[in-house]
Structure 1
């Protein structure tokens, strides 16, 4: 791309729990970004493996990376919120400790946001096996999603999202065990902001057998819980939205 423009600081939110096998690769993908004005905020959620030691070795080499070790396990939503509370950036981006970004991820997002005055963006991503082998599966996205559209198509990958806090205001992840990212996107959309998609593959999502979303039935129940308990939708409208969700969940993997 052309000469780099400084759009402001990006705070990258990364929760970590027993991620010693993958987190170095995730951090490496951040270090490789063409856009370099970022801080990486890693909250270790009381890992039982060597995650903290792996991160500590890297922290000593780059001041932009900050580690927040927790003394007890609080879950991914609360762990993300710890990082958000320490974030200094105008922009908030999300990357899990087992996923990766393409090198031009941040640069392309910030250029897209600045040129179009968008506050909430996401992109396409590919799926990789647990060992890092890239599959043929690519998650294609619509060019934009409103609140009601997103209720029926939860296609926004957390690892692809970048949000401009100077526009949408401050926020935290709702404190639910899973699908808290879905609940946050809905919260921001209810403030009147659409999500705009970059139709380009800019990230890689790792299928890990222990992840929440690896169990599709559990994920479906979590989506239903967001409809009913967080959004307080009627049973009838929840059922309508769930049909759209189920169709799109199958369609996006084809």
Structure 2
């Protein structure tokens, strides 16, 4: 079984579409764990309407806003599956996403799998851009920049146990995948096909270059406990990797 972890905060505009994309999966052996991070809109009510209809959907409600890391970790703690996957409350999966990844993992014996994904705008319209997955991703390469789109990542609980997020407000998903690869000792393997849609939001951190720099520095300094000098060295490496190497992974879709 695959345990799908979806943290939510004021997600009423998108959460129904996100859940529907899971319900439409051709792979049906899954559970969806929704974690509401103290929303003040109708997110909880929408989630509860699905819980009444589907026994494999559950809801955890936070009594205050903890952030994505703690919310994801609550979902991971509750997970019962042999695999854990993540889907944020504004993103979407293509129907064969889980089936293709689980088949790929079993055929290739990898502990961590991810895929390419396509970009949509806030209205759900295709931007005709795709982020290509590297076929093989080592820990050393992942340390330079986050090459795993969190909405596509799947890891094996059977071989790695439950890998949790470090409690940072931003970029905690990068730290989770670094921890998974470090524990695995094997590279992650990427599927070339786009299997998901990432929604580009107007206030997205990736569009804020200064915020991107700050939060990536904290990945090295607070998340990985690197010294100030080592963290500064890695942030320079990150900048080069992000703007001159990783940028080539974004291609135009036909």
Q: Which of 233, 237, 242 lines up with 1:240 in the alignment?
A: 237
Which residue is equivalent to 1:196? Answer: 189
Distance 2:161 2:127 in 1: 37
> SS where residue 237 of structure 2 aligns?
helix
When normalised by structure 2's length, the TM-score is 0.92
Which residue is equivalent to 2:145? Answer: 153
CA contact (8 A) 2:216 2:235 kept: no
Moved more, 109-118 or 163-172: 163-172
Which residue is equivalent to 1:6? Answer: none
Which residue is equivalent to 1:221? Answer: 214
Q: Deviations over 1:41-85 (max 9, x none)?
A: 000000011000111111111011101111100001111111111
When normalised by structure 1's length, the TM-score is 0.92
- 1:160 offset after TM fit, Å? 0.2
For structure 1, the residue ranges without an aligned partner over 5 or more in a row are: 1-8
Which residue is equivalent to 2:248? Answer: 251
Which residue is equivalent to 2:108? Answer: 116
Distance 1:42 1:209 in 2: 24
Distance 1:129 1:241, change over 3 A: closer
> SS where residue 204 of structure 1 aligns?
strand
Distance 1:248 1:64 in 2: 41
Distance 1:249 1:162 in 2: 21
Distance 1:29 1:214 in 2: 26
CA contact (8 A) 1:151 1:245 kept: no
- 1:152 offset after TM fit, Å? 2.2
Residues 9-88 of structure 1 aligned to structure 2 (within 5 Å) = 9-88=1-80
For structure 2, the residue ranges without an aligned partner over 5 or more in a row are: none
CA contact (8 A) 2:47 2:59 kept: yes
Return structure 1 stretches of 4+ with deviation > 4 angstroms.
none
CA contact (8 A) 1:168 1:193 kept: no
> SS where residue 151 of structure 2 aligns?
helix
Q: Deviations over 1:160-213 (max 9, x none)?
A: 001101111222110001000001111112221311100000000001224433
CA contact (8 A) 1:123 1:141 kept: yes
* Paired residues, number: 246
| 1:207 equivalent in alignment to 2:200 | yes
| 1:181 equivalent in alignment to 2:178 | no
